[in-house]
Structure 1
């Protein structure tokens, strides 16, 4: 059996179909990991969600920032839902909206497979976090997402502050965890996220590091596959495999076969 991690699809249904054909995906023998940001910008977000939902018995999805935004918008009043872009609006007004949204809300923020020997997150981990710590933090958010008060979380999850601290409690703690796992690119050595820094490494302000290059960060006992950072492109090193290769921007959609020896498969992304 082969497990393939797939980078940010962002509603690029045709590219995803090409990639599944390229890897000769067979649900009888293969499994899929999706690094989040299934939706938005690609123009085929509804078709993408339907396809991945249909493969849910054979796949694992971690939530990205665009996925969380869709979930939050789905709980707003209808006049606000009508103002979103047409790509997301098609999901919100689809006949199968409810099962799609409920399935997405049940997806994790962080995934660990000790038997396979890999972990997956959308954006990154705080420099202080080990794999086990990250898993516990993610479970705090997942419990809230799946609980009775999930609408409250969606109302309170937006904002760039506070910075992560183990002393945080309540909504601020959950917001900080979400920001790390779905929005992180660059940060300071103490974990302060630089939300406005989105370029390639070397363009950031002094004192900031790609999250996986922060000096003195926690040792992690599993390699991590992630997405989110399209301007970084394909990066494989330091125990990190970043595979958002800009599919929605005309780049490529990437699959990474996970194992002791990784293997890349790429197809052309959306035509822009």
Structure 2
């Protein structure tokens, strides 16, 4: 298993008649970010709970940070950290006190716990609020504090279950920066998120989950697919002619012709030449790649 920080093979987890995981397979390379995407109820959170030793699975095999999840759960817990969907901080303590407490609970020395608390408060934009009680923090600030707490020990593997839900764009950007820094230092991250742009920004590879199993995986670009030339003709009567001219497919409702291309510049240049020679007027022309949202909806049959 050298080189893999997370390995799951044929995981099964059933709650009565409902199979939350049904043949779940996953491999995550060390020092990378894997985005786990899927519609609600697909099994993402169950997978995180199983891999982080919070829930026992019924069948299969799983290794995390080189340790067997079933036979060596204590060793797994020593090497990982988990941030769930909801902030779990002590609202009576100040932000700084929270982080020092988490540091001490993680067996850091008093001096190191304080140093690490100061460092993380700065990274997450909370230094000015370090002495304030967490009950006075906004929801976004509490979320950032919770994330900072999960990074106290610089874990080998970090599970992030929808870490930026409810955060404003500036706070999300700060979280992204912290995740990138952590990965650059060698930590592996398994990220579940409802924000596909977040997965696009952070993930080296993405696994799409549906009905308890991985149905597609690849880099964000691989999942998005190929570039397309799109032409919107001015006269709907010329739509069929344009599709034939460019060897594309026509959409009558939008007066749009789509053509799969490999060389973006050459394809655009050649299309413009052909359209001009044929006297076909267009309202719009451009090269675009499907978004990750479009790819996700296609893979999951439109389920959100």
TM-score, L = length of structure 1: 0.32
Instruction: Kindly name which structure, 1 or 2, has the bigger radius of gyration based on alpha carbons.
Output: 2
Query: Which protein is richer in strand relative to its size?
Result: 2
Which of the pair has the greater relative contact order for Cα pairs under 8 Å at 6+ separation?
A: 1
Higher relative helix content: 2
